[in-house]
Structure 1
């Protein structure tokens, strides 16, 4: 019913337009016919001709003009309706597309076969729809990223607080400082959530604030945040980090380290310790996290940093993974002009990344 109603709207407009044009054309034809008729009658009256023949001439001329006028009005109106209907076809597509958007769907691009003003309007409409789709994808992407980033620090806080409550572990200044850092990180994420509409994913605004920090300390603090989880899973952790100051976004690099450590614990399968190593090379600082886990096929290694990609979908869902952590890490590292990658040898996997030592 609604579809027929929408289809009827352009036709009503065309009919009104045709009716208006018919009235104008009919008026013009009638005036012209009246002028021709009276002029011809005036000329005939000036000729030497019988009255009967003059009357016959006037009658024939009147009938002829009347038929021609009616024919011109009918043919002109039909032709006008057909051409206008054809010309206004893109407008009908535009109406359908806007109605589809009103119902919450993104319409397919409208095809353009001309270069007039109507084509320009449709082209602008197509661009608008495409921009709206991109904006929606970016919004969903940001919300999904932030939701993923909330999970790790909240899990750590809950785990430590439960352990402290039950007397499983005893608190110390180092642990409290780590918990405070995680709390601040969550607060920062909440602030970013509140400013969601002002974000621009592609501009790199999330990493615009950089500070000088000893990355070795950052590695130790990030690993310490997982101490409770290391103990719970019975995994040993060895840290070997060269002392080196770098100019980075501390929150962003902390997220990368946390994501990689979290993956190493979450997918750990073996007996050897997880090794966290930091090396000062020529112009970059390289961080590598090595641990044992399930084999990763070569084809999967090339896609592992893609957004929402999981090596084992069913297993990842059971463990709470969303396939975002490594994609987010890659994005952060690339915005630091660094590199990130994976070296896999059977069940031994090394996730590494580099950041420039000098900004």
Structure 2
């Protein structure tokens, strides 16, 4: 840290004044000591005897003289005092510079950091202040992202609700005004309104599930889950829908009866959403394979299909809420865009990870979960039951 010219002049002036004051103080002490010795003959004789007894060598060199020792001692003290005062003043100037930098940052210059490289506690202060500013900026950015995310959520929900609601009102309005020519038209209008209402319910259900699993402190009902049985039941539940689309759905678990500590209901929602996603968006797929494997202390569940490849630019966005690959925005597939966001939220509740890979041969969603659920809250009870 560089001092200003004024601060340097002030430091030199203070050193000069300190030397003068110490010189006057030393002179006063010498006069007082000399006067005390002269006024006390016994003390003067004692000092003389000591001086004579401490003469050595052929040249009768004196190795002790109270005047020399007193002057040397006072000179050492003077040097220490001058050094202490100058260092103290220098540290005060450093502190003033740090305070000035803080005021500058507080005025709104949040991209600025204190650039000083100091020593000791003051460097700790500089490091802590810079870290605090970084943390504050990060918190502000996170807050902005949260607000932007809330706005996007409201916009997306409003859009996805308004579209089917407009259709429902339109067709019911036609029925209300008796603007149909036959019972066939009436059934067509009511069926369309019914399908749009189901689409709205699906969105509301997904939105409720997403907000529920994203809340802080979401309860997790942990129990021992048999993955072999869960995945077999999952494959069977989608078998009919898969056969209509000529997609074979299989489940395989190794070792057999693989157990995991998890919330059975939420975990079932994860795998159900991933299989449904493969059925909905896996265009021209011939199979969906569900495989569970034990990997060290974790369980890795892979849900793969040989359908159309997911564009590389979309892979990193798949788990964002309301995100849908552009080619999937047709009426045939539709979707709320919340399914994979729900998957990620539930997996994170179990302290696991989910990722996706896709190429021309196969698309794989890979869920990795710890076999034993590690609660962040102390005092959690153990597994409650078996599923």
Q: TM-score range by the shorter chain?
A: 0.3 to 0.5
What's the TM-score once normalised by structure 1's chain length? 0.46
- Could you say which structure has the larger radius of gyration? 2
Return the structure number with greater helix share: 1
What's the TM-score once normalised by structure 2's chain length? 0.43
